[in-house]
Structure 1
Amino acid sequence: MGAGALDGLSFGLKDLYDIRGRTAGCGNPDWARTHEPAAADAPVLQALLGAGAALAGVTHTDELAYSLNGENHHYGTPVNPAALDRIPGGSSSGSASVTAAGLTDFAIGSDTGGSVRVPAAYCGLFGIRTTHGRISLAGCMPLAPSYDTCGWFARDAAMLARVGRVLLDQKTPEAPQPRWLIDPALFRLCDDETAAALEAAVGMLGGAGVVPAKADTGFDPEAWKEAFRILQAAEIWRVHGGWVTAVRPEFGPGVRDRFRMAESITEAEIAEARPVRDRVRRTMTDLLGSDGVLLAPTAPGPAPVRGWDPVLLDDFRYRIIALTALAGHAGLPQVTIPAGLSDGAPVGLSLIGPRDGDAMLLALAERLSEALLTAA
């Protein structure tokens, strides 16, 4: 046994990250066919291996990470071990699946529009989207660089924090007593049963000192969702449009439609969307300060069942984005913790903290998870 902080632990790595001598497939066979093997390991992988963790394998992803469902047209859909009849969520679908199944101790994903937060909630896991720019994404396929972040999954909050001490290169602090905040408008986007489950979870946290004050985030679901859709798509086309045009890859139906949409985004649309993102950033900076933590739903409901109507699935996806866009637009860290069941499947409660408050959120997640277990 070595002296590394992660000795004895195994992990999965989303198929966007470079492994020396291997081509990251990024969920699409045409991508794998037209790209060269990596010359070096991604820094995230280097850090984990350097801390003594063992790479168990590469995990499934949606095509070029451009989906939140976890259903891959080419390679199939990973199992959701917490709800076998439901999708696992994406795009870090495989990383969530192997962690929830106990096949690895933790797994690495990436999160642009919810790709760690959403599958974590769907699969009953703890998950973190880190502060934008906090962890290097060198050696990881970019999607929309101004939103892309590193994230990871674990079955308990202690493991989530243990990985954080390595990737954030800092100790997990004593859990502080922050200013707890809640915006009821965010919860109104949830279905009734999910809202009730999350309300009950918040109530259970009172014994841990969580008595949130009402706050106004300026939540505007349609504007936030549209701004994210436009700005993300414009960046995706800027990054990948040349490859798509030259290679003409085969995409599954949903991903194909989103790339077509991305190609059509205009400069006028981008100019209209940018002020929305700027307003969210200013509002959240003022609201959170250095010690505020906002409680929010991770997703508006549990994972959809497999084979759900594509129209309903797309509508649900945009309701999710309206929620995940808060941390996305503002570049903030967000931790999701399991918070009960809705329709027999897991739902998640999120903690959104100030910029670079990642370690604080990990410490709070440990404390709150103990409170939820005790209350249950």
Structure 2
Amino acid sequence: MKGILDRDTVGAFCRHTHAELAGAASGPLAGLTFGVKDIYDIVGRKTGFGSPDWLATHDAATATAPAVQRLLDAGARMVGKTHTDELTYSLNGENAHYGTPVNVNAPGRIPGGSSSGSAAAVAAALVDFALGSDTGGSVRAPASFCGIHGMRPTHGRILLAGVCPLAASFDAAGWFARDVALIERVGRVLLGDDLPAPQPSHWLLAQDAFALASDAATKTLQPALGRLTALLGKPQPVTVADAGLPQWFQVFRTLQGAEVWAQHGEWVTRVKPDLGPGVRERVQWASTVTANDVAPARSQREDIARRMDELLADGAVLVLPTLPGIAPLRNTPPAELD
């Protein structure tokens, strides 16, 4: 049987950091295959982080990331490492150094990122499921663009030891599959069964989020909204952000940028990596974020968290579009995508 690199017709898997690991002989995921975003450490191998300069300036890992090990211990077989946007600092899926994985469900359009290879591999049925990460949408966006399911759990629920960080207070592990049943099956391994499953009682329709969505995106969501109505009754329309969602986004962008520079600024300054379009400008902007920018953003973040707790009390489910539109065309200028 051909290996994954021979069968990979969509450019989802990394050749420069390729690794395969057998899973346990038995377990809840026995017989399944998975790919791993190239930010998770594999013992004895380098982690590429989507950057040739990162690869050249870092040593091989001394241990396998616990999240990967849990999947192996559950019987799943790792077949390879998947491409990521450079430093995971993009939602587009286009890497200037390693190319853009093909979105098989929309070949002329981007797969989304930064977990681009993982989403593309699952969409192309090269693996049963794949591990990614999500800081500001890096599982949710490619799942949406590639027409598959993606899960970003609560921040901190999955240990991120042995994982290249972007912005630690937002980083979360996540995963992809082509059906919801497998999303849950993998989740039981990664999250455990120690918490009772929440029972939703009603759902909220985020009017201000839907107002930002294109007609095409809104139309695509109508069948799902109909199924929710059948399950939970008519929604309660709500305005999520009284000050406007763009203001919430700016809070996130500021705090993320500050954390990116705190984490990687020394390496960027010392190595002067050849960063690709879009990522280069984001990193440069991150270097300009000051303490005076961060202080009010942190305060506003606390207000945002309180608002979300208020909305999601009493078994509520908040429903909003993952993204404002369908997948953009490949080679769209980065400035337009931002």
Same fold (TM over 0.5): yes
How many angstroms apart in 1 are the aligned matches of 2:36 and 2:325?
A: 27
How many angstroms apart in 1 are the aligned matches of 2:108 and 2:228?
A: 30
CA shift for structure 1 position 174: 6.7
How many angstroms apart in 1 are the aligned matches of 2:217 and 2:66?
A: 38
State whether residues 161 and 172 of structure 1, in contact with CA within 8 Å, keep that contact through their aligned partners in structure 2: no
The aligned residue for residue 40 of structure 1 is 63
Structure 1: runs of 5 or more not aligned:
315-376
SS at match of 2:78: strand
The aligned residue for residue 98 of structure 2 is 75
Which digits, 9 at most, give the CA deviation of each residue in 1:138-176, with x for residues without a partner? 000011000000100000000000000000011796783
Which digits, 9 at most, give the CA deviation of each residue in 1:253-308, with x for residues without a partner? 11111111011111111122222211110001111125221011000011100122
The aligned residue for residue 283 of structure 1 is 307
SS at match of 1:293: strand
Residues 1:101 and 2:124 are matched in the alignment: yes
Which digits, 9 at most, give the CA deviation of each residue in 1:7-50, with x for residues without a partner? 00000000000000001000001101110111110000110000
Candidates 35, 45, 53, aligned match of 1:12:
35
Candidates 241, 250, 255, aligned match of 2:265:
241
2:201 partner amino acid:
P
What's the TM-score, normalizing by structure 1?
0.81
Deviates more, 1:222-231 or 1:21-30: 222-231
State whether residues 78 and 94 of structure 1, in contact with CA within 8 Å, keep that contact through their aligned partners in structure 2: yes
Candidates 48, 56, 65, aligned match of 2:79:
56
State whether residues 165 and 171 of structure 1, in contact with CA within 8 Å, keep that contact through their aligned partners in structure 2: no
2:317 partner amino acid:
V
Matched residue pairs, number? Answer: 314
SS at match of 2:131: strand
Candidates 280, 283, 295, aligned match of 1:256:
280
State whether residues 111 and 149 of structure 1, in contact with CA within 8 Å, keep that contact through their aligned partners in structure 2: yes
Q: Which runs of 4+ in 1 moved over 4 A?
A: 171-175
CA shift for structure 1 position 226: 1.0
Candidates 210, 215, 225, aligned match of 1:192:
215
The aligned residue for residue 115 of structure 1 is 138
Candidates 66, 69, 81, aligned match of 2:89:
66
State whether residues 201 and 232 of structure 2, in contact with CA within 8 Å, keep that contact through their aligned partners in structure 1: no
Structure 2: runs of 5 or more not aligned:
1-23
Residues 1:165 and 2:192 are matched in the alignment: no
Candidates 290, 295, 298, aligned match of 1:266:
290
Deviates more, 1:225-234 or 1:303-312: 303-312
1:212–1:172 Cα change, 3 Å: farther
Deviates more, 1:250-259 or 1:287-296: 287-296
How many angstroms apart in 1 are the aligned matches of 2:34 and 2:58?
A: 25
The aligned residue for residue 137 of structure 1 is 160
CA shift for structure 1 position 199: 3.4
1:273–1:6 Cα change, 3 Å: same
SS at match of 1:242: helix
SS at match of 1:264: coil
Identity of aligned residues (%): 53
SS at match of 2:81: strand
2:114 partner amino acid:
S
Alignment RMSD: 1.6
By relative contact order (CA 8 Å, sep 6+), the higher-ranking structure is 1
**Greater helix proportion:** 1
